[in-house]
Amino acid sequence: MGFPEHFLWGGATAANQIEGAYLTDGKGLSTADVVTSGSRSVPRELTYTVQEGKQYPSHEAIDFYHRYKEDIALFAEMGFKCFRLSINWARIYPRGDEEIPNEAGLAFYEHVFDECLKYGIEPVVTISHYETPLHLALEYGGWSNRKLIEFYERYCATLFKRYHNKVKYWMTFNEINVICFHPWYAGGIGDLRAKDGQEEYQAAHHQFIASAKVVQLARSINPQMQIGMMIAYSPVYAETCNPVEVQMAAEAMQRRHFYLDVQCRGQYPSFKLKEFERKGISIRMEPGDEQILKDGTVDFIGFSYYASTVVTTRQNAEASGGNMIRGGVKNPYLKASEWGWQMDPVGLRLILNSLYDRYQLPLFVVENGLGATDTIEADGSIQDDYRIEYIKEHIGEMKKAIEIDGVEVIGYTSWGCIDLVSVGTGEMEKRYGFIHVDKDNNGNGTLTRTRKKSFEWYKQVISSNGEVL
């Protein structure tokens, strides 16, 4: 009973949110490097170039590039079994379209992986997490251009050949469904916000093909490698039992299932083809694309889960706070975070079940956590009981999904195990970590790392394999 013996407990991050060193050792600019800081009230700005006088949080981030040994040692102290990180494509191919990779970039990740493996920590790698080399975005139009498939394949071939003995778990694109909401982050196209139309779906098609091709590529290089998809997934509830609202909620779920269906079942679902027909969206496919999708279905499903959503037919209902893809209205049964995300642990059990029922693939919770403002007490400690509470409840529901419902879950990585830059707002002070980083929203601070109360708590969760919560 309880969690499986080799359950992958750990934490998750992304390159542009932690590394900094944005031009070090031959790295090129990425799409993330031209998005400014913002706040809850001031939206981030996409400037397309680096402009003087503006603050770009990815440029220094938390300087993981120079401090990874200290950070990984702290993860090891917590007993991490795995560490999810992403590779910054522009470190490996600075412009994205070169033939020869940048050795210094490859060496950096090699050292990071070796450092993890030294402690028995399994690296879990996202190949593309909300960034594309800027050159590919500006010169080629990002993922709306089919040429990107070729560049991505080359990038992946380089990674797989170099690291196949060090990295077993890979995910091809972070939150692939975000492309239709935030095409710049997820696809290096357009603007920060999308129109949910032709160009984004064409870009999604290119990512599907790229992902399916590299699944095959990975198998040919080392069949031990497990290649997953990654999606932002959460339940959408009807506000009442009015069947019209229930249908609205089902349609909202279909918008998520589209991506899963393509990547797990290997074909476009009929509901999406009908929607394209109605909206006049036509996806340009090349001969062979359908077969590529069939042959390149993924080995596991990674997903992020933070909060759930409610839809209603009521006009002028009070909106809930959103995130990358959520909107909807207030749920009177749930409390919301300071950023308005409606916290719903039971929702995690629900989606673990619905994903497993639908796809029968191993599931990996690769993001979950609470973004909150932390206060440093007079004695220097951080008493983040609210974070402990949030994670405890979610792990508790995940445990029920495993123990009671028999869902196959292979791991859990809490988002932002060390404080990092927020994607939504570009802030530092929306903190998720077990480890505090001394840096504020204006970029000031010593970058010193400190253990929060949740650090010790998570350590005992891992050492007891989820028995002591």
The interface mask with ligand BG6, positions 215-254, x = CB under 6 A, is -----------------x----------------------
304 is a site residue for ligand BG6 (CB under 6 A): yes
Sole window of 57-65, 146-154, 402-410, 420-428 interacting with ligand BG6 (rule: CB under 6 A): 420-428
Query: With contact defined as beta carbons under 8 Å apart, do 121 and 82 qualify?
Result: yes
Which residue's Cβ has the minimum distance to ligand BG6?
424
Cβ closest to ligand BG6, residue 64 vs residue 130:
130
175 is a site residue for ligand BG6 (CB under 6 A): yes
Sole window of 46-54, 375-383, 399-407, 421-429 interacting with ligand BG6 (rule: CB under 6 A): 421-429
Cβ closest to ligand BG6, residue 324 vs residue 329:
324
Query: With contact defined as beta carbons under 8 Å apart, do 129 and 14 qualify?
Result: yes
415 is a site residue for ligand BG6 (CB under 6 A): yes
Sole window of 117-125, 194-202, 416-424, 438-446 interacting with ligand BG6 (rule: CB under 6 A): 416-424
Q: Which amino acid is at 439?
A: K
Q: How far apart are CA 283 and CA 263, in angstroms?
A: 16
Cβ closest to ligand BG6, residue 304 vs residue 308:
304
Q: Quick one: which of 135, 62, 7, 4 has its CA closest to 411? A: 7
In Å, how far from its chain's centre is CA 465? 24
Contacts of 116 (CB under 8 A, 6+ apart): 72, 75, 83, 122, 123
Number of H helices, E strands in the chain: 14, 12
Q: How far is the CB of 396 from ligand BG6 (least distance, A)?
A: 21
423 is a site residue for ligand BG6 (CB under 6 A): yes
Enumerate the active-site residues: 367
- Determine which helix (DSSP H) or strand (DSSP E) holds 47, and give its type and residue range: none
Cβ closest to ligand BG6, residue 108 vs residue 306:
306
14 is a site residue for ligand BG6 (CB under 6 A): yes
Q: Between residue 355 and residue 394, which ones bind ligand BG6 under the rule CB under 6 A?
A: 367, 371
Q: How far apart are CA 351 and CA 298, in angstroms?
A: 19
Q: How far apart are CA 161 and CA 156, in angstroms?
A: 8
263 is a site residue for ligand BG6 (CB under 6 A): no
Q: How far is the CB of 39 from ligand BG6 (least distance, A)?
A: 12
Cβ closest to ligand BG6, residue 128 vs residue 312:
128
Cβ closest to ligand BG6, residue 167 vs residue 232:
232
Contacts of 64 (CB under 8 A, 6+ apart): 13, 18, 19, 20, 71, 418
Q: How far apart are CA 414 and CA 9, in angstroms?
A: 8
Q: Which tokens hold the place of 135?
A: 């050159």
Contacting ligand BG6 (CB under 6 A), which of 50, 106, 285, 324? 324
Contacts of 343 (CB under 8 A, 6+ apart): 306, 307, 334, 335, 336, 337, 370, 390
Contacting ligand BG6 (CB under 6 A), which of 96, 123, 424, 433? 424
Total number of residues that touch ligand BG6 (CB under 6 A): 15
Q: Summarize as ranges the residues that interact with ligand BG6 (CB under 6 A).
A: 14, 130, 174-175, 232, 304, 323-324, 367, 371, 415, 422-424, 430
